[in-house]
Amino acid sequence: MFRTRAAKLAIDKFPGEIIIVDLQSGAYYSLRKSACTIWECLETGATQDDLINLFDTITDSQKVELQDFLTELQQCNLLDTAPTMRLQESKVQQAFESILFEKYDDMKELILLDPIHEVDARGWPHQKQ
């Protein structure tokens, strides 16, 4: 069983897209297509079997895609635990649509200004020019 890391995440859901903002790191994310279905399943807590069984006619390559997506979510610190996928038969639910997952890092510098290494010889709070 694994689930999304709800603390410090701001999430909003639109038709076809989920926006996630990591309020700690400043990174934000866009999830589309089957990424939305998987994320919503993860929110309530999901086993590996649950995720596989979400989709009808999921191919082995799509299972790998799903596994890669979970790994990326983990690397982005959006999941609490690390899943290990097992490739197995799926049940008829819905078609798997190629996962769209985009990460944006452009806001990080705004919140992670280093108060120790980015100060001048006078020390904090004098910013290095």
The order of strands in the sheet holding 9-14 is: 9-14, 17-22, 28-32, 100-104
Mark the segment that binds another protein (CB under 8 A) among 40-48, 76-84, 91-99, 121-129: 121-129
Q: Which of 2, 5, 28, 101 binds another protein (CB under 8 A)?
A: 28
Pick 23 or 64: Cβ nearer another protein = 23
Contact at 8 Å (CB) between 24 and 8?
yes
Query: Which residues in 33-72 are b (16+ Cβ under 10 Å) and which e?
Result: bbbbbbbebbeeebebeebbbbbeebeeebbebbbebbeb
Looking at 68, 87, 91, 115, which residue binds another protein (CB under 8 A)?
Answer: 115
Residue 85 vs 100, nearer CB to another protein: 100
Nearest to another protein of 18, 54 (CB atom): 18
Give CA separation, 49 vs 45, 60, 83, 86, 108, in Å: 12, 14, 11, 8, 35
60 binds another protein (CB under 8 A): no
6 binds another protein per the rule CB under 8 A: no
Please, what is the angle between helix 60-75 and helix 34-43, to 10°?
A: 60
Using the rule CB under 8 A, is 26 a contact of another protein? yes
**Residues engaged in binding another protein (CB under 8 A):** 10, 12, 14-19, 21, 23-24, 26, 28, 30, 104, 106-107, 110-113, 115-116, 123-127
